């Protein structure tokens, strides 16, 4: 029996850990951390091992399936492409191009072929009804970069390998392994900060796994970080802590006094009343952050997807700028990747060029907010969505008011899912097109090298050959594009050739093209010589190169945020009778889709509601009781976990569960079904400015369930 070892990057989350795969007769039998990976240094988490289970999963689809009155029927690829394209062209003719929508989910950006070919497919569809996970995730970061640095894709990342002070708001990297911050082996990186006498402060309504490792944790009332951040800006300016350093030349001199005037209402006292953090703690936090040799304020999902998420991300950047910590070692820095998605002005996504039909919410980067998807399907009239493609996405479980989306998907004339499972979303489709996946596909991280705290690069060929008769994702997109375009190929030979080129090009060719013009001048062939990857060094200051505002200056106070600050000023403190619902993640769970690996999900029940003992007692709830949690849109029943690790007035339910829906074929996940947090989140509760779904501080009633 032959044993071999192969290496690649794990693509399951943003951390980009190097993995070593032990193969026996070409079958994966063990996965370990790759000790020679210069970035992850041998670290992995339990999800990587589940790559073996995904590879072998009997529930995973490998051939196209078509829904028939007698259930799912396997069909061949060409039949699938032909039938789908016929229907697409019919719907476009009968209604309009916009009648066909697409949702692209999270794994798209973790997947080389999908990252490169989804844009080509969208170009072929020519629809304005595009949706993705961005509007339930990181859109506020893009918007802040768009307005402040001129390019929505250059996101500053915390230089945690060198910082003396790391302030984390609404992120739990010990579990999530970091987000908008690719930083594998986060536990050791945090230890290193503390070992060099640095400080880590975590602000979170839950005493998290990250808080356990920090020097200080502050409980905060969900949805109120904006008051803390504005008060900190106030403190920094009023106490003479402003120190722009090298950024001085990049800022308009009068903006700081304008900011000072605007945020002057947000005193420490007011911030304390809103956030529940004591005045003394806010003052101390502002002082220690502003006086640290280097410091970085980092706000993630728990502050990105709230009522003032966009303003909060502006404030995070503003704090880092005012204290001279942007583009500085140990502060918030810009990566310089080998595949540079940022190079070139034309790449910068735009904002607000058109609005959604029903609720008038703005597009960002050509996408409308996912919170509007169901209403755009359900509301009749010109421009109504009649057909939907989903790719790498499970919006029934991951976007707000999943039950409404269930109904909407049932009402579609036509639906196609590019996915490897029959799950809560794809079970609504007429066709499912499954790509080869995981260890069977080549990998190069285009997305996350742009967010990495250190510049590295790696390319991996497939570890295991894909099964005969299966297709890579990019080949599925090529098949679809070709079939859809077959009757509209231009007569002009040059135009025709350029269209047809897309049917043959490979991701590797595209990588070579972009990397060849990049700063490291690399090729795929060159990278093949380095299976553990290449270390390209620590981040270095490079803002002058990255920023593309017309005058090459940072816009420290874009107009849209002035209006947002006014809105915050007008908010009143209210008495609260409901609990604030928030979400959470677990190391042994990945968004909505990895629960079919027994080895990953085994162990104690994880889909529980965390509730503070005082809140539980008031409602007669004991640990383990089944409780009913109700919001405007629905009710779910699940076991309570009574714990002081959650702030009073707050309840936390993990997202991504709820596999007990009709039509799902996930034999392991269905046993651990749980409930869907997004049967409680409200599609009408969005950030007004962007339409991003509010995922924290959803008002809910909590009672002992009749079933208890």
Ligand X SMILES: Nc1nc2c(c(=O)[nH]1)N[C@H]1C(S)=C(S)[C@@H](COP(=O)(O)OP(=O)(O)OC[C@H]3O[C@@H](n4cnc5c(=O)[nH]c(N)nc54)[C@H](O)[C@@H]3O)O[C@H]1N2
Residue matched to tokens 């639906």: 415
Decide which of ligand X, Mo ion, ligand SF4, none touches 450; Cβ closer than 5 to 8 Å per partner kind: none
| Closest to 456 measured CA to CA, from 183, 180, 166, 63 | 183
Q: Sketch the per residue contact string, 224 through 243, with Mo ion: x for CB under 5 A, - otherwise.
A: --------------------
Give Cβ neighbours of residue 458 (< 8 Å, ≥ 6 apart): 8, 9, 16, 18, 37, 444, 445, 527, 530, 531, 532, 533, 534
Q: Give the x/- contact pattern for ligand SF4 in 160-179, rule: CB under 6 A.
A: -----------------x--
**Which of the residues 429 through 448 are near ligand X (CB under 6 A)?**
435, 437
Eight-state DSSP code of residue 346: G
Torsion angles phi and psi, residue 489, rounded to 5: -65, 130
| 13 forms part of the interface with ligand X (CB under 6 A) | yes
Nearest-angstrom CA–CA distance, 159 and 293: 13
Q: Mind spelling out the 3-state secondary structure of 234-283?
A: HHHHHCCCCCCHHHHHHCCCCHHHHHHHHHCCCCHHHHHHHHCCCHHHHH
Q: Two tokens at 705?
A: 């369930």
Strand duo 635-642 + 609-611: pairing: parallel
119-138 residues near ligand X, rule: CB under 6 A: 133, 136-137
Binding-site member from 21, 220, 332, 336 for ligand X (CB under 6 A): 220
Size of the site for ligand SF4 (CB under 6 A): 12
Q: What is d(CA 93, CA 97) in angstroms, rounded to the nearest whole number?
A: 8
Nearest approach, Cβ of residue 590 and ligand X (Å): 5
Number of residues that bind ligand X (CB under 6 A): 64
Angle between helices 309-322 and 225-238 (to 10 degrees): 20
Q: Which stretch binds ligand X (CB under 6 A): 299-307, 354-362, 544-552, 601-609?
A: 299-307
User: Which H or E run contains 123?
Assistant: helix 112-125
Torsion angle in degrees (nearest 10) through CA of 305, 308, 309, 312: -150
The stretch near Mo ion (CB under 5 A) out of 135-143, 440-448, 499-507, 600-608 is 135-143
Q: Which is nearer to ligand X, 127 or 696 (CB)?
A: 696
**Measuring CA to CA, how many Å separate 178 from each of 24, 109, 187?**
33, 15, 11
Q: Which is nearer to ligand SF4, 110 or 661 (CB)?
A: 110
Which of 593, 610, 633, 686 is the binder for ligand X (CB under 6 A)? Answer: 593
Question: What is d(CA 316, CA 171) in angstroms, rounded to the nearest whole number?
Answer: 13
546 binds, among ligand X, Mo ion, ligand SF4, none (CB under 5 to 8 A by kind): none
Q: What are phi and psi of 105, to 5 degrees?
A: -95, 180
Smallest gap from Cβ 152 to ligand SF4, in A, equals: 25
430 is an interface residue for Mo ion by CB under 5 A: no
65 binds ligand SF4 (CB under 6 A): no
Comparing CB distances to ligand SF4, the nearer of 168 and 174 is 174
Choosing from 122, 157, 319, 418, the residue that interacts with ligand X (CB under 6 A) is 418
Distance CA 559, CA 271 (A): 23
Cα distances from 659 to residues 135, 164, 415, 608, 662, in angstroms, run 23, 43, 20, 15, 9
Distance CA 472, CA 57 (A): 18
Residue 423 interacts, among ligand X, ligand SF4, Mo ion, none and using kind-specific CB cut-offs from 5 to 8 Å, with: ligand X
Give the residue closest to ligand X by C-beta. Answer: 302
User: What tokens does 512 get?
Assistant: 């070579």
Residues numbered 7-36 forming contacts with ligand SF4, rule: CB under 6 A: 10, 12-13, 15-17
In order of 132, 157, 420, the CA distances from 435 in angstroms are 19, 32, 7
CB atoms within 10 A of CB 68: 10
Least spacing, CB of residue 221 vs ligand X, in Å: 8
When CB distances are held under 5 to 8 angstroms depending on the partner's kind, the choice from ligand X, Mo ion, ligand SF4, none that residue 175 binds is: ligand X
> Among 137, 376, 440, 473, which residue interacts with Mo ion (rule: CB under 5 A)?
137
Helix (H, G, I), strand (E, B) or coil at 698: strand
What residues numbered 176-235 form the site for ligand SF4, per CB under 6 A?
177, 184
Note whether 205 binds ligand X by CB under 6 A. Answer: yes
- For Mo ion, the closer of residues 137 and 340 by Cβ is 137
Neighbours of 223 (CB within 10 A): 25
Q: Write the burial class of residue 46 (CB in 10 Å: 0-12 exposed, 13-18 middle, 19+ buried).
A: middle
Using CB under 5 A as the binding criterion, the count of chain residues that bind Mo ion stands at 1
Residues numbered 152-181 forming contacts with ligand X, rule: CB under 6 A: 169-173, 175-177, 179
* Residue of 21, 44, 247, 694 that binds ligand SF4 (CB under 6 A): 44
111 binds ligand X (CB under 6 A): yes
Nearer to ligand SF4, 389 or 444 (CB): 444
Which parts of 441-571 are beta strand (E)? Answer: 454-457, 534-538
> Binding partner of residue 146 among Mo ion, ligand SF4, ligand X, none, CB under 5 to 8 Å per kind?
none
Q: How far is the CB of 419 from ligand X (least distance, A)?
A: 4
Contacting residues toward ligand X, per CB under 6 A: 13, 105-107, 111, 133, 136-137, 169-173, 175-177, 179, 203-206, 208, 220, 222-223, 225, 300-303, 306, 391-395, 398, 418-421, 423, 435, 437, 473, 582-587, 589-593, 655-656, 677-678, 681, 695-697
Contacting residues toward ligand SF4, per CB under 6 A: 10, 12-13, 15-17, 44-45, 47-48, 177, 184
Contacting residues toward Mo ion, per CB under 5 A: 137
């Amino acid at each position: 029996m032959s044993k071999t070892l192969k290496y690649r990057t794990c693509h399951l989350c943003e951390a980009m850990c190097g993995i070593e795969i032990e193969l026996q007769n070409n079958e994966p039998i063990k996965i370990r951390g790759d000790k020679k990976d210069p970035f992850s240094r041998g670290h992995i988490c339990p999800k990587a091992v589940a790559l073996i289970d995904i590879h072998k999963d009997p529930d995973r689809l490998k051939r196209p399936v078509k829904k028939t009155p007698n259930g799912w029927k396997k069909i061949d690829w060409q039949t699938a492409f032909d039938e789908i394209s016929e229907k697409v062209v019919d719907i476009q003719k009968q209604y309009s191009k916009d009648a066909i929508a697409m949702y692209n989910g999270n794994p798209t950006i973790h997947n080389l072929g999908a990252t490169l070919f989804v844009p080509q497919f969208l170009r072929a569809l020519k629809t304005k009804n595009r949706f993705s996970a961005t509007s339930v995730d990181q859109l506020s970061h893009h918007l802040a970069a768009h307005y402040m640095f001129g390019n929505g894709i250059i996101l500053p990342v915390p230089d945690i390998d060198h910082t003396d002070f790391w302030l984390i708001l609404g992120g739990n990297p010990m579990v999530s392994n970091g987000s908008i911050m690719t930083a594998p082996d986060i536990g050791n990186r945090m230890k290193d900060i503390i070992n060099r006498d640095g400080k880590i402060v975590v602000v979170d309504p839950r005493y998290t796994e990250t808080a356990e490792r920090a020097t200080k944790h502050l409980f905060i009332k969900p949805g109120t970080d904006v008051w803390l951040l504005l008060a900190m800006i106030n403190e920094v300016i009023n106490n003479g802590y402003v120190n722009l350093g090298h950024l001085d030349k990049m800022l308009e001199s009068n903006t700081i006094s304008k900011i000072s005037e605007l945020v002057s209402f947000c005193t420490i006292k007011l911030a304390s009343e809103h956030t529940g953090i004591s005045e003394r703690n806010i003052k101390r936090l502002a002082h220690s952050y502003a006086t640290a040799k280097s410091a970085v304020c980092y706000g993630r999902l728990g502050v990105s997807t709230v009522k003032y998420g966009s303003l909060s991300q502006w404030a995070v950047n503003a704090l880092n700028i005012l204290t001279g910590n942007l583009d500085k070692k140990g502060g918030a820095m810009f990566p310089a990747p080998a595949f540079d998605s940022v190079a070139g002005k034309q790449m910068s996504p735009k904002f607000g060029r058109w609005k959604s039909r029903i609720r008038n919410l703005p597009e960002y980067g050509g996408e409308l907010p996912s919170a509007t998807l169901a209403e755009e399907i359900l509301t009749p009239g010109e421009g109504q969505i009649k057909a939907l493609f989903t790719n790498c996405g499970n919006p029934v479980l991951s976007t707000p008011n999943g039950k409404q989306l269930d109904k909407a998907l049932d009402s579609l004339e036509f639906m196609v899912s590019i996915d490897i499972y029959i799950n809560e979303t794809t079970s609504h489709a007429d066709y499912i097109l499954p790509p080869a996946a995981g260890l069977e596909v080549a990998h190069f991280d285009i997305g996350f090298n742009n967010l990495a705290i250190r510049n590295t690069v790696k390319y991996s060929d497939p570890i295991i050959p894909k099964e005969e008769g299966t297709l890579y994702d990019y080949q599925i997109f090529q098949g679809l594009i070709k079939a859809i375009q077959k009757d509209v190929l231009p007569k002009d030979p040059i135009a025709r050739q350029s269209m047809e080129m897309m049917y043959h090009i490979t991701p590797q060719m595209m990588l070579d093209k972009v990397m060849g013009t990049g700063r490291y001048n690399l090729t795929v062939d060159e990278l093949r010589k380095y299976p553990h990857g290449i270390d390209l060094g620590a981040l270095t200051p490079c803002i002058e190169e990255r920023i593309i505002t017309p005058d090459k200056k940072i816009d420290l106070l874009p107009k849209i945020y002035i209006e947002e600050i006014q809105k915050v000023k007008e908010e009143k403190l209210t008495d609260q009778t409901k609990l604030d619902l928030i979400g959470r993640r677990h190391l042994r769970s990945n968004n909505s889709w990895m629960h079919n690996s027994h080895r990953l999900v085994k162990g104690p029940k994880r889909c529980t509601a965390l509730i503070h003992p005082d809140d539980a007692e008031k409602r007669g709830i004991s640990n383990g009781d089944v409780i009913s949690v109700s919001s405007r849109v629905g009710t779910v029943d699940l076991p309570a976990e009574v714990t002081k690790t959650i702030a009073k007035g707050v309840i936390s339910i993990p997202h991504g569960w709820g596999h007990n829906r009709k039509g799902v074929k996930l034999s392991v996940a269905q046993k651990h079904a749980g409930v869907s947090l997004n049967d409680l989140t409200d599609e009408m509760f969005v950030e007004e400015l962007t339409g991003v779904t509010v995922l924290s501080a959803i008002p809910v009633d909590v009672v002992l369930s009749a079933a208890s």
